[in-house]
Structure 1
Amino acid sequence: MKSIYLYNALTGHRESDNKNENAYYLSRLLNLRNELLVKQVQIADVAPKLLEVIKNHPSFEKVSRVCLAINLPLSNKLEVLSVGTTIDNNLMKSGYSCFISSKSSLQKINNGDTRVFSNIDNILESYVNDNKPAQRSIFYLSKMGVKSGITIQLKSGGLTGYLFLNSNEIGYFDSSIKSDSTYLNLLELVCTEVFSSLANEFRALGNIDDYIARFPKEYIFSNIHQKNHIGIELLSESISQYIHGNIKFEIVDNTEASSLIPWGQVSLILSVILKDLKLASINNLPISLYEEEENLLVSISSKEVVEEMENLPIEYYKAIRKFSKNLGIELSRSRDKFWMKLKIDKYSHREVDVDYSTPHE
């Protein structure tokens, strides 16, 4: 079977570059880079500005969608940071998120490489052949009329992002890899620099790259949660190893439906809090799970922990809340407990493919 995706390194091809034309289009990109970084453009406006400049290039004038996304740390959850599109029915706006498989084609992109698909119908057909529902984002792109695309990986320390370009024409990017590699190379550099600037928002609490590097790789959890089963029971073990302590949870699981939850991020936040509070040994720390509409509440009922949090500077509490928010988790506290609120994905839904969306069997 012919491969759906093509992977190519971004290397220059002198013989195919028109120097005079390229100089103009490259300068447009550099001017945009200065505007985005110097003027500190809002995240939501980044992709629309990129789209405007990219469409001025004759090889990319039929690009219909530009999207910047981040792979949230310690999970396989992808979140849209900014999107610009000429498509009316945009189904994946800023803040949209989905879970991707550890075996996803995205995970096969090396730094400096591109991933290209010529016809989205071939991808949809592959799901049919495997007797699986289409992965949700692919399904949405198809409904939006997208036919082809190119993806460039972006790196900033321990954080990974992606630049997606799409067109409503079949095979639109097939020749761009060679004929416009210099332009794509500069686009990658500009977007990596912009992504690094945006990624600083995820470093509200110290250096998240250091936290990620020190977090045990074997405890980047499955995203599947089933009542009293996968995910939650690994928290105490992973946190204990991370903070070099001994944390034991007394878990009450009030959830009913199976769902996709980024347990790695929940564990990271709890680890950071307990480590900074210097609470390395706790027995039977009460933790409860509740469903609230489309959200999950992870509640920690511990007067000891809350009192210790109140002794920390208010700046720290603001920082840990911002840190959590950037991971898609709302952190709150009351007199005797604190809790995390995060959106959950009910993977029984037709458009969420469990086998595709998580690496856990």
Structure 2
Amino acid sequence: MSHSEDLRQVGRGMPLQSPHYPLRLSRRTVLRALVGAGAGVLLTACGGDDLDPFAAGRQPTAPPSRTQDQAQQTQPQQAQPEEAAAQAAGQADLAIELPEPLVYVIPSPATQGQTVLVLIEAPGARQASLSWQGQAFSLLKSEDRFLGFFGIDANAPVGPQSLGVAVWGPRGEQLLWQETVIEIESVEWTIDNIQIDGPNAALLEPAIRQADETARLPFQSTLTPQLHWLGVFDPPSDGQITALYGEQRSFNGGPIEEYHTGIDFGGETGSSVTAANSGIVSWAGRTRRRGNGIIVDHGAGVFTGYYHLSEVLQTAGAVVEQGDLIARMGATGLATGPHLHWEVVVRGTTVNPLPWLRLLEFPDPFQELNPTNALTSTNLAQGS
């Protein structure tokens, strides 16, 4: 799969306000649309490890059946008429059969660098969990819907990948436990040869790159069990996009050892950098390679990072709203000139930011769902 010509033009510096990309949706418009659709905004994590089928590597199993002798030994004493009526009513409530959960994986198939949204419609359920490439996590709950995101690395292996889905009822009973296969398709990333001279050449050392990643990882890989953001993200800069996500990079004629983990906005030192959406600043500091930077936690495992800044205007723990001034553009760290490096991190994986700006399909957790597109338990069992 290759980038469209439109995206190639964006990479060459097409202004963000191009008529091809109607990015600016007012917060009031988005809020009105969500409220009109009856969408819940505040989401919370559901359940805990006691119900998590993936905790400690275990998988849910059916409870053992009792023998006839065991059943007789555990029979309760004869209840009085009033008690018997109450017990019968309670048993009738417990006997209510919940509808089969409907699972949606959007998009499927997916591509390298993409954000995948999993939505589960499960009225009456208490918890839903996912297992993806060694990660196991509970989904967020909003009324009868569970949602969660995970990211696919730009250089992730292509082909079929396993996704585990589990849903639990109000008393901890297993409603669904299945595995499905997601097909990961390749992307034809461009190759960028960059010349780095002078003192900055020392920043190309693999040990420095690893130290940079290690320092930032704890601040962009945890799960905040609320959704702080609302609607499509805004570009964090008014500058033009000068480099795209996924570009395979060679420095000073050497081999390709890494890819571009975000998109770059060109501009002048001191230009405004704003929060792409609402959230809480999880980190504000400096690393040798990224220079001055800020990470914003938007909840549900979604983070945005802003780097090479000349000035940081927020501190860790600050609550920011979409559009708030958080920093100023610069050229600190490994940079050939003033620009903003902006990235989106989902569950610890850097992903293509363009869908979050609605330049591509936006992963909207409140979208309307067509039941005919759901993966039923039968389809999941068949790996469709």
Question: What is the TM-score of this pair, normalised by structure 1?
Answer: 0.26
Which structure has more strand as a fraction of its residues? Answer: 2
* Bigger fraction of residues in helix: 1
What TM-score, normalized to structure 2?
A: 0.25
